[in-house]
């Protein structure tokens, strides 16, 4: 079960003493079957919760325990706060949850847990950028996912084609501050960039979601397909070894040191392979390096670099000469 649901379920049992699977499902906005599986998973993992069958039954902490949050050990509590702590730096809700979580821990755990939470933070604003806020439509979509209601979308694709469609929202993913909606459509599973959704309107129609759908697995497939598209062209380049980390930062996972260390025999430069969708995409990323990077192949990337260089000379060469 997810860590956030674990904490929420335990805090709920501590406050109420006993909960049913239906009550837990209503509070956590999941299905009764999911809530029951979560409770059973907690019990199987050694967390001191137990079921009480019969009328007025439910699930409760053994002995009504209230001081030891879920039976976590000190290292487990620290690990949990390392996970939650960074979010508290940018979310008032997470900060409030963290305070409640501290009060629920045993006194002997609190100092270490609070220290763990304060050692890591998230600064969501990149250098040179203004503060970026998540799209307001994310809240609407999250509600539709939880309530399992169809959503009518007006969407503009990357090729500027506008369409309207009725979708079954299955899950949301935040990747590097860009949100994506994974949804079911008449043509099967589709992925929508949330910032390209022009309008979203929830409906009262129940949404269908495959019983075996897992968001993490679905997203991994999406990423795999995108990575294949992003690396259709590969180029081999020579660069000084000290610049390889910078080149890797530009190309991400599409930057590979070639061979055993990649060191070129002649002058000590490192041989690296970089990938992108097209030769022009690679050339645009390498043009700013000037003579610091030498492209060995393919000719298509070399040609694009030559064309970019000629354009720059044409535009700025004569002006630079006059200033000289």
* pLDDT of the residue at 268: 78
The domains located in the chain, with CATH, are: 3-118 (1.10.10.10), 137-225 (2.30.30.520), 231-319 (3.30.70)
Q: Which residues of the chain have pLDDT under 70?
A: 1-4, 15, 45-46, 53-56, 62-133, 176, 230, 259-266, 318-324
Q: 149: exposed, middle or buried (C-beta count within 10 Å: 0-12, 13-18, 19+)? A: middle
| The pair of three-digit structure tokens given for residue 124, joined into one six-digit string | 């969501």
Q: What is the rounded CA–CA span in Å between residue 126 and residue 184?
A: 33
Contacts of 255 (CB under 8 A, 6+ apart): 244, 247, 248, 272, 273, 274, 275
Q: What is the rounded CA–CA span in Å between residue 194 and residue 154?
A: 11
* pLDDT of the residue at 12: 74
Contact 205, 150 (CB under 8 A): yes
Beta strand pairing status for 197-206 and 188-193? unpaired
Contact 213, 223 (CB under 8 A): no
Q: What is the rounded CA–CA span in Å between residue 204 and residue 148?
A: 9
* pLDDT of the residue at 261: 47
DSSP-assigned letter for residue 19: B
SS3 225: helix
Residue in the structure block whose two tokens are 């003579």: 291
* pLDDT of the residue at 35: 83
| Residue 311 φ then ψ, to 5° | -65, -40
Taking the CA atoms of residue 160, residue 164, residue 170 and residue 175 in that order, the dihedral angle to the nearest 10 degrees is 20
């Amino acid at each position: 079960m997810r860590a956030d649901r674990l904490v929420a379920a335990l805090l709920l049992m501590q406050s109420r003493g006993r909960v049913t699977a239906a009550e837990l499902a209503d509070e956590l906005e999941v299905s009764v079957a999911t809530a029951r599986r979560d409770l059973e998973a907690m019990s199987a993992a050694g967390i001191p919760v137990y079921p009480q069958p019969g009328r007025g039954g439910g699930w409760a902490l053994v002995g009504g325990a209230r001081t030891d949050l879920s039976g976590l050990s000190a290292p487990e509590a620290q690990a949990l706060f390392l996970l939650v702590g960074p979010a508290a730096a940018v979310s008032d809700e997470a900060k409030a949850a963290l305070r409640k979580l501290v009060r629920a821990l045993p006194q002997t755990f609190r100092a270490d847990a609070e220290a763990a939470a304060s050692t890591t933070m998230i600064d969501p604003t990149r250098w040179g950028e203004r503060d970026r806020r998540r799209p307001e439509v994310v809240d609407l979509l999250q509600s539709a996912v939880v309530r399992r209601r169809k959503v009518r979308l007006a969407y503009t694709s990357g090729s500027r084609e506008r369409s309207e469609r009725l979708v079954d929202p299955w899950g949301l993913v935040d990747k590097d501050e860009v949100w994506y909606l994974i949804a079911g459509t008449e043509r099967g599973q589709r992925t929508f960039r949330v910032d390209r959704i022009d309008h979203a309107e929830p409906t009262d129609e129940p949404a269908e979601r495959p019983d075996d759908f897992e968001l993490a697995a679905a997203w991994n497939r999406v990423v795999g397909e995108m990575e294949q598209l992003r690396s259709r062209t590969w180029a081999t380049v020579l660069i000084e070894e000290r610049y390889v980390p910078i080149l890797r930062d530009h190309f991400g996972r599409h930057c590979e040191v070639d061979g055993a260390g990649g060191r070129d025999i002649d002058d000590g430069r490192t041989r690296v392979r970089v990938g992108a969708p097209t030769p022009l995409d690679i050339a645009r990323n390498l043009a700013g390096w000037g003579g610091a990077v030498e492209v060995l192949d393919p000719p298509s990337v070399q040609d694009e670099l030559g064309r970019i260089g000629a354009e720059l000379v044409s535009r700025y060469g004569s002006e630079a000469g006059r200033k000289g």
